Amino acid sequence: MRLGVYGGTFDPVHNGHIAVAERVMARFRFDELRFVPATVPPHKRGREIAHAGHRVAMLALAAQGRSDWTISTVEIDCEPPHYSVDTVAKLHEHTPSAAPLYFIIGADSFEDLPQWREYLRLIESCHIIVTARPGYRLDTAHLPEAVRRKVVDLRGAEVGDVPVHAAPEGTTIYLTDDAFVDVSATDVRERARNGDELDGLVPHAVAEYLTKQELYSTKADE
């Protein structure tokens, strides 16, 4: 089984997330793409984040009609702190036939990877897909030589091409330019707060949910 794992705060899930999900599904031909909403990431402490129940509900709305898109609450259900290396291990326990899974991260996270907890163990436990915008400069100089040998650059490659593992008996780091929809969750929250139109930024069902629940709206604080 080929399993892709897409983690994030998803506060809220927006069309940028959906575009990445569709693109990596097409490129890597996953049997399943599993969204993993986070609790409160360390770098976002101090900012109020929508309740996990709302974020899961919005992901479910965004994934409706896609039987190959699922949601895991593996992080939400466990006490913090949460580290990617532990999350991947738990997902392997839940779906052993998918090991090693494909773990999707953004360009910013890739740049910070050496600061992650046990990042070398993470790299050895799963394939990593780095999604960057076209033209974004992805540098690998911050990684040890042994890790750089795992890198396969797929930027500019046709989506239909099936990736070939650089290390058949190990794991691979794939560099892609598959993040091409410029939508900011911060902008979506601001527009929701002001009562502005959200269609085109988030899936229609998510826009309706945000309006109905008055998430991020100043009305919710009245």
Give per-10-residue mean pLDDT for the chain (222 aa): 95 96 95 92 62 96 97 91 94 95 96 96 97 90 95 89 62 93 92 92 96 80 42
Position of tokens 């399943």?
32
Q: Confirm if 61 and 205 have CB atoms less than 8 A apart.
A: yes
Per-residue pLDDT, 200: 92
The pLDDT value recorded for residue 207 is 96
Q: Tell me the pTM.
A: 0.91
| Distance (Å, whole) CA 41 – CA 194 | 26
Sequence-distant (≥ 6) Cβ neighbours of residue 139 within 8 angstroms:
111
CATH number at 3-217: 3.40.50.620
What's the confidence (pLDDT) of residue 164?
57
Nearest alpha carbon to residue 24 among 168, 129, 137: 129
Query: What local confidence, expressed as pLDDT, does residue 221 receive?
Result: 43
Task: Give the model's pLDDT for residue 199.
Answer: 86
The two three-digit tokens of residue 125, written as one number: 């436990």
Q: Which of 6, 69, 7, 16 lies closest to 185, judged by CA?
A: 16
Task: Look at residue 222 in the predicted model and tell me its pLDDT.
Answer: 40
Q: What's the rounded Cα separation, in Å, for the pair 49 and 38? A: 10
